[in-house]
């Protein structure tokens, strides 16, 4: 077990290295630089800025410099926000997105699993069609439709919540629902699929034959196996949901990390693009590892290798 | 085990008089019984006809600004007899813009899916068929691509290639093939171990014939299912890019860009958000139900009732 985890952790190093390299050269190959939009910048100032960030050096030199610093754990200074480091900005915005993401994920899991199980217990019944329709709706309606609609109904008309900003606990509700709805849809479809497959297995029949109540059969015997697809989905999903959403953050005016993924590319903020990319990749790899461990714990037939 | 050790049972072709129902016949039978999937297919067909032929019947063009007899611009009118879906904030007919936007959104969905289908199937088939070291390298590559933050990747491609519609297709397709490759690889790998493929090898059939005649039909099911699920994913992505302002160029419309414009003014002019939102969601809804229906129909494990 420990050996498996250590091995997997070692394997992530080349992956992160390649992600950093690819992103580095991808960003550099895009036309335009980080200081293009500063109209006031006189040529001398601009040159000073470029000297400061090492942009006048040959590309390979910039690359090795960056990689050496990276190995020391330094993500460098942001090229757009002067006097801010990339690490600072990530550390400042990530907790906000994480909190919101975890709330959204809880909503997604509670509603998704419930709907999925109910649909799977009576396949092709009215309630199955109803639950499936709602869940497909969650996949089909983009967050930039659900977000504004939620604001329109619950904030502007009913006045239950604030329309935007993040000051009170209740401010988390609308964005978390908008974000969680889409994920709930995926969770419920996967739960339905997994449960349908499990409920046909012999050990379920055995459990029933031995007189276990239907509730016990479902909750105690079937759910453990039926949720396997959901658990494997949780790796990428958690990484995605915790790194925020540009759409949700711009609709609800939330100071999360999601917008940095998009704006840094528009700003040509090279260090920030690579920093966020690396951050996401690290999170994804670690969560996938965690998911693999949980999968083995849930399904002893699998082995860690 | 050497392949030659397997006794090939002699089958007299004349004895095979009893005709088994093929997978496709069964699938078609099951598909017809799934009312939701059938209805979705009809609705999708109607949507395509509406978008492709609608503009020929419309008295307006997508960029025509409507004026009344006195010459004032009739902007932001709610749905009425002259403009069934109202006009947008520049006074253009919404119905016509929906039809043109539908062409763009559907075309993006189809073309990008085609690109991802081609890359994904070829990549997955090669990886799974050759196996060994090559497979290992190819799959690592997929993992690394999956770890790159998707939005950054797409935005970089868009920024780099400019905003040509054709390149949007290519860029989106180039990012969306990862799952397809994984699915095809898994299928091909498990097929390679089956007895009928081994028998085909033993009979001395050429690789080409084995792949085309024996493997392809067996991979086609999951590929078709996943294709119908890729189209909505791609259409959502196009909408997201439009939301970022990277989509089609004004005055051309796409459903995504109309939703974006609508979301900005939803407080006063709800129909600008609701109508394009409904069209996009309804199309994605049908595609998802079609995909689900195909999956149920093509699942060989499903009972033959």
Cα nearest neighbour of B260 on chain A: A144
Q: Report CB contact under 8 Å: B152, A140.
A: no
The yes-or-no verdict on residue A260 having pLDDT over 90 is no
Cα of B3 vs its chain's centroid, Å? 40
Token pair 């759409």: residue: A247
- Tell whether the model's pLDDT for residue A268 goes beyond 60: yes
Predicted pLDDT at B57: 76
Put simply, whether A276 touches B (Cβ < 8 Å) is: yes
Angstrom distances, CA of residue B283 to CA of B44, B105, B233? 7, 10, 11
Q: Which residues pair with B73 in a beta bridge?
A: B67
Tokens of A228: 């396997």
Output DSSP code: residue B63: T
Task: Give the model's pLDDT for residue A104.
Answer: 92
3-class DSSP assignment, residue B67? strand
The residue-averaged pLDDT of A272-277 equals: 88
Of B233, B24, B237, B286, the residue nearest B117 (C-alpha) = B233
DSSP-derived 3-state class of residue A238: helix
CB contact under 8 A, B151 and A246: yes
Res B62: pLDDT: 72
- The Cα B225–Cα B83 span in angstroms is 38
CA distance to partner chain A, nearest, from residue B12 (Å): 37
Q: Is A305 on the interface with B (CB under 8 A)?
A: no
Confidence tier at B138 by pLDDT (50, 70, 90): confident
What integer pLDDT is reported at residue B11 of this predicted model? 54
Beta bridge partners of residue A77, listed in sequence order? A85
Q: Could you give the percent of chain A with pLDDT greater than 70?
A: 96
Q: Do A140 and B232 touch (CB under 8 A)?
A: yes
Nearest CA to B30 out of B299, B221, B294, B297 is that of B297
- Of the candidates A278, A285, A291, the residue with the CA atom closest to the CA atom of residue A19: A278
A224 has pLDDT over 60: yes
Q: Which residues pair with B92 in a beta bridge?
A: B65
Name the minimum distance, in Å, from the CA of B255 to any CA of chain A. 11
- pLDDT of B171 reads 74
pLDDT of residue B149: 67
User: Using CB atoms and an 8 Å cut-off, which of residues 234-253 of chain B contact chain A?
Assistant: 236, 239-240, 243-244
Spatial contact of A254 and A175, defined as CB atoms under 8 Å apart: yes
Q: What share of chain B has pLDDT > 90, as a percent?
A: 0
**What pLDDT score was predicted for residue A110?**
92
Residue B302 has pLDDT above 60, yes or no: no
Which residue in A139, A142, A281 has the most chain B C-beta atoms within 10 A of its own C-beta, making it the best mutation to test that interface?
A142
pLDDT at A106: 93
Closest to B233 in 3D by CA, of B288, B164, B292: B288
Contacts of residue A298, defined as CB under 8 A and 6 or more positions apart, other chains included, come to A224, A225, A227, A228, A231
Rounded CA-CA distance B177/B121 in Å is 8
Relative orientation angle of helices B23-33 and B216-243, to the nearest 10 degrees: 40
What does the mean pLDDT of chain A come to? 82
Give B213 to chain A, closest Cα distance, Å.
Answer: 30
Distance of alpha carbon B193 from alpha carbon B184, whole angstroms: 15
Closest CA of chain A from B221, distance in Å: 17
Distances (CA, A) of A154 to A150, A159, A162, A249, B39: 6, 6, 9, 18, 33
| Contact call for A136 and B151, based on CB within 8 A | no
Half-sphere exposure of B106 (CA within 13 A, CB side): 20
* Residue among B147, B263, B282 minimizing CB distance to A281: B147
Q: Does B49 touch chain A (CB under 8 A)?
A: no
% pLDDT > 90, chain A: 3
Q: Per-residue confidence at B9, pLDDT binned at 50, 70, 90?
A: low
- Residue B15 reports pLDDT greater than 60: no
Beta bridge partners of A85: A77
Q: How far apart are CA A232 and CA B221, in angstroms?
A: 23
Half-sphere exposure of residue A162, counting CA atoms within 13 Å on the CB side?
12
Interface test with B, best of A97, A136, A156, A270 (most B CBs within 10 A): A136
Residue B13 has pLDDT above 70, yes or no: no
Please state, in angstroms and as integers, the Cα–Cα distance from residue A197 to each residue in A1, A107, A123, A217, following that order: 29, 25, 11, 14
- Give A195's Cβ-side CA count (13 Å radius): 24
Flag whether residue A18 sits within 8 Å of chain B, measured between CB atoms: yes
Question: Is the pLDDT at A66 greater than 50, yes or no?
Answer: yes
Q: How far apart are CA A24 and CA A69, in angstroms?
A: 14
> Are the beta carbons of A296 and A229 closer than 8 angstroms?
no
> Minimum mean pLDDT among A153-157, A181-185, B101-105: which range?
A153-157
According to DSSP, residue A187 is labeled H
Burial of B50 (0-12, 13-18, 19+ CB in 10 A): middle
Which pLDDT band holds residue A302 (cuts at 50, 70, 90)?
low
Which residue out of B147, B234, B277 would a mutagenesis test of the A interface target, given it has the greatest number of A Cβ atoms within 10 Å?
Answer: B147
Is the link from the previous residue into B251 a cis peptide, with omega within 30 of 0? yes
List CB contacts (< 8 A) between A147 and chain B: 263
**Contact assessment for residue A166 and residue A255, using Cβ atoms and an 8 Å cutoff:** yes
pLDDT surpasses 70 at B263 = yes
- pLDDT score of B48 more than 60: yes
Which pair of structure tokens corresponds to residue B195?
A: 């007895």
Find tokens 């609308």 and name the residue: A174
Q: What's the mean pLDDT in B1-9?
A: 50
Could you give the 3-state DSSP secondary structure of residue B252? coil
Contacts of B259 in chain A (CB under 8 A): 142, 144-145
Nearest to B294 by CA among B217, B216, B226: B226
CA distances from A175 to A94, A169, A178, A240, A283 (A): 16, 12, 5, 15, 22
Q: Do A139 and B144 touch (CB under 8 A)?
A: no
Residue where the block lists tokens 């960029």: B63
Give the separation between CA A152 and CA B270, rounded to whole angstroms.
9
Determine which of A12-21, A146-155, B34-43, B246-255 has the lowest per-residue pLDDT on average.
B246-255
CA angle, residues A184, A186, A192, in degrees to nearest 5: 100
List Cβ neighbours of B235 (8 Å cut-off, separation of 6 or more).
Answer: B105, B106, B108, B109, B255, B280, B283, B284
Residue B266 is predicted with a pLDDT of 74
Nearest chain B CA: its distance from A236 CA (Å) = 9
Q: What is A30-43 written as a DSSP string?
A: SSS-TTTT-TT--H
User: pLDDT higher for B242 or B82?
Assistant: B242
- Contact: B281, A140; criterion CB under 8 Å: yes
pLDDT reading at A239 higher than 90: no
pLDDT confidence of residue A72: 83
The CA distance from A152 to A163, in Å, is 8
Nearest to B159 among A30, A129, A285 (CB): A30
Q: Return the axis-axis angle of helices A173-199 and A126-140, rounded to nearest 10°.
A: 130
- Residue A217 to residue A204: CA distance in whole angstroms: 7
Q: What's the CA gap between A151 and A161, in Å, rounded?
A: 8
Distances (CA, A) of B16 to B7, B11, B22, B189, B221: 20, 8, 14, 29, 26
Residue A17 sits at the chain B interface (C-beta within 8 Å) = no
| Interval B98-116 mean pLDDT | 85
Phi, psi angle pair for B65, to nearest 5°: -95, 125
CB atoms within 10 A of CB A52: 12
The lowest-confidence range among A299-303, B92-96, B197-201 is: A299-303
In this structure, of A261-270, B143-152, B282-291, the range with the lowest mean pLDDT score is: B143-152
Is A23 part of the contact surface with chain B (CB cutoff 8 Å)?
yes
A14 to chain B: closest CA residue: B144
Strongest mean pLDDT among A218-222, B13-17, B62-66: A218-222
- Of A163-172, A254-263, B75-84, B186-195, minimum mean pLDDT range: B75-84
Q: Output the pLDDT for position B18.
A: 52
- The arithmetic mean of pLDDT across residues A30-48, rounded, is 70
Is B229's Cβ below 8 Å from some Cβ in A?
no
Smallest CA–CA distance from B290 into chain A, residue: A136
A78-128 per-position pLDDT tens digit: 877 777 888 888 888 888 899 899 999 999 999 888 888 888 888 777 888
Contact with chain A for residue B270, Cβ under 8 A: yes
Asked if pLDDT for residue B119 goes beyond 70, the answer is: yes
pLDDT of residue A24 exceeding 50? yes
Residue B104 half-sphere exposure toward CB, CA atoms < 13 A = 28
pLDDT of the residue at B117: 87
Cross-chain CB nearest to B147 (options A243, A261, A285): A285
């Amino acid at each position: 077990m420990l050996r498996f985890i250590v091995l997997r952790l070692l394997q992530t190093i080349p992956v992160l290295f390649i992600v950093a390299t690819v992103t580095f050269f991808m960003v550099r190959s895009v036309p335009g630089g980080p200081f293009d939009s500063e109209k006031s910048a006189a040529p001398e100032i601009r040159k000073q800025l470029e000297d400061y960030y090492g942009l006048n050096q040959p590309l390979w030199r910039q690359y090795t410099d960056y990689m050496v610093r990276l190995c020391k754990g330094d993500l460098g200074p942001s090229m757009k926000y002067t006097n801010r480091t990339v690490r600072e900005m990530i550390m400042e915005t990530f907790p906000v997105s994480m909190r919101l993401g975890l709330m959204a994920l809880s909503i997604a899991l509670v509603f998704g699993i419930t709907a999925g199980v109910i649909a799977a217990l009576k396949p092709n019944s009215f309630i199955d069609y109803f639950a499936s329709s709602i869940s497909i709706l969650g996949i089909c309606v983009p967050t930039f439709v659900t977000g504004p609609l939620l604001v329109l109904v619950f904030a502007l008309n009913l006045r239950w919540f604030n329309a935007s900003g993040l000051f009170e606990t209740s401010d988390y509700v609308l964005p978390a629902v908008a974000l969680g709805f889409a994920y709930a849809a995926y969770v419920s479809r996967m739960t339905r699929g997994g449960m349908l497959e499990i409920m046909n297995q012999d050990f379920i029949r055995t459990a029933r034959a031995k007189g276990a109540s239907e509730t016990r059969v479902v909750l105690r015997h079937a759910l453990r196996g039926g949720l396997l697809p959901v658990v494997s989905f949780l790796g990428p999903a958690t990484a995605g949901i915790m790194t925020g959403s540009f759409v949700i953050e711009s609709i609800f005016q939330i100071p999360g990390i999601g917008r940095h993924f998009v704006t840094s590319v528009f700003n040509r903020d090279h260090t920030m693009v690579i920093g966020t990319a690396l951050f996401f990749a690290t999170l994804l790899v670690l969560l996938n590892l965690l998911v693999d461990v949980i999968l083995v714990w849930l399904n002893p037939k699998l082995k860690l290798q | 085990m050497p392949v030659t050790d397997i006794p090939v049972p002699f089958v007299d072709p004349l004895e095979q008089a009893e005709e088994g129902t093929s997978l496709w016949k069964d699938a078609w039978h099951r598909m017809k019984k799934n009312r939701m999937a059938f209805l979705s297919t009809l609705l999708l067909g109607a949507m395509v006809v509406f978008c492709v032929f609608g503009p020929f019947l419309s008295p307006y063009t997508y960029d025509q600004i409507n004026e009344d007899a006195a010459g004032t611009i009739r902007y932001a009118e709610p749905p009425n007899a002259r403009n069934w879906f109202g006009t947008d904030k520049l006074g253009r007919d919404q119905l016509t813009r929906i039809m043109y936007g539908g062409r763009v959104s559907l075309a993006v969905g189809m073309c990008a899916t085609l690109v991802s289908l081609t890359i994904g199937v070829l990549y997955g088939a090669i990886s799974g068929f050759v196996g060994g070291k090559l497979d290992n390298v190819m799959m690592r590559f997929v993992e690394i691509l999956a770890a790159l933050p998707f939005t950054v990747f797409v935005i970089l491609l868009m920024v780099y290639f400019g905003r040509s519609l054709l390149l949007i297709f290519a860029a989106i397709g180039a990012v969306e093939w990862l799952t397809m490759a994984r699915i095809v690889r898994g299928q091909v790998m498990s097929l390679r171990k089956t007895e009928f493929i081994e028998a085909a090898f033993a009979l001395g059939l050429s690789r080409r014939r084995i792949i085309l005649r024996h493997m392809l039909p067996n991979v086609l099911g999951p590929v078709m299912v996943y294709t119908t699920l890729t189209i909505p994913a791609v259409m959502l992505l196009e909408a997201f890019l439009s939301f970022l302002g990277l989509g089609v160029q004004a005055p051309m419309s796409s459903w995504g860009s109309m939703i974006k414009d609508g979301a900005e003014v939803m407080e006063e002019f709800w129909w600008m958000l609701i109508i394009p939102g409904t069209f996009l969601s309804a199309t994605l809804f049908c595609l998802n139900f079609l995909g689900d229906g195909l999956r149920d129909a093509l699942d060989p494990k499903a009972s033959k009732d």
